[in-house]
Amino acid sequence: MLLSMTGFGSARHESEGIHTAVEIRSVNHRYFKLVLRANEPYHLLEPEIEQAVRQYVRRGTVQVQLQVVKQPSASDYLLNRVAVRRYYEQLRELHRELGLDGEPELEDVLVLPGVASSAESMLLSPRVDWAVIQPALEQALHHLQQSRRREGEALTQELRRLEVAIREQVQLIRQQSSGLVERYRRRLQERVQQILAEQGLSMQPADLLREVAIFADRVDIGEELVRLESHLDQFLRTLDEVESPGRKLDFLCQEMFRETNTIGAKAQDAWIAQAVVEIKTLVEKIRELVQNVE
């Protein structure tokens, strides 16, 4: 079953006060490439995310959008007692200098810089939260895989249809080429006899046979047709491969195009030339589709 390099998957997960949202998009690319966009400090999870993505995607550009919102708790913050005392002492001194009544309020101190700070647990590596983030990523990757598989099924059907269309043109070429030499022999004989009759001359049959033999050798496309059909057989087998057949399919397209060009160059026939143009058009359509196959 072919896998498309184009797909989309998303998921959300919430646990232990951590809300995770993941969106994954994949597009075609010659090699594997990960593009991660995440809020701080979760971009540091890129190695773990890449390892997880590579379990599903072998080739293509994968864009991962990760948004993690961590709900703070009372234990996540610490009060800097030294700073509180120092601020409070300075405010008391300022009250006395200004001749103000009463004592400064504690709430006036708590809003000052450096009084409240994040606990050490808030400053830990985001890998501490990986166990909560990973399920959302795995679910999004699963949805991405389903999307790629659905598009891969559509690609497979279209590629098989194009392969059948090419075989039909190959059969037409084979039928047309079977009488190519005989048609050439008759045309040549008629033209030569006409010219010799006008000049009152004659031609030996051996000379005509030698000329026809040279032509037959020059326009023989039997080997090219066999190789082209062999490439088509291998193309069908490759469609059923499990391991990323995209590059192999692209190579087979190049080989089919090469054989078709040779057939067009050797076969001096208008009908064959027309079939060659049709095959090249079909192969080009296949190549465009194959560019999106993993």
pLDDT digits (tens, 9 = 90+) for 248-274: 999 999 999 999 999 888 877 788 889
Burial class (CB in 10 A: 0-12, 13-18, 19+), 45: buried
Task: Output the six-digit token pair for 47.
Answer: 């190695």
Domains and CATH numbers, the chain: 7-73+125-148 (3.30.230.10), 81-114 (no CATH), 153-290 (no CATH)
Q: How far apart are CA 5 and CA 29, in angstroms?
A: 8
The answer to which of 6-10, 36-40, 118-122 has the lowest mean pLDDT is 118-122
Q: Looking at residues 9-33, what average pLDDT do you find?
A: 94
DSSP code of residue 293 = B
pLDDT at 113: 82
pLDDT value at 210 more than 50: yes
**Whole-number percent of the chain with pLDDT over 70:** 81
More confident residue, 138 or 219: 138
The answer to whether 60 and 292 have CB atoms below 8 angstroms apart is no
Could you count the other beta carbons within 10 Å of the beta carbon of residue 284? 12
3-state secondary structure of 207: helix
pLDDT value at 279 more than 80: yes
pLDDT at 34: 98
Q: How far apart are CA 123 and CA 207, in angstroms?
A: 95
pLDDT value at 53 more than 90: yes
Q: Quick one: which of 287, 218, 221 has its CA closest to 259? A: 221
Mean residue pLDDT across the chain: 84
How far, rounded to the nearest angstrom, does the alpha carbon of residue 174 sit from its chain's CA centroid? Answer: 36
pLDDT value at 7 more than 90: yes
Could you count the other beta carbons within 10 Å of the beta carbon of residue 165? 16
Cis peptide leading into residue 41 (ω within 30°): yes
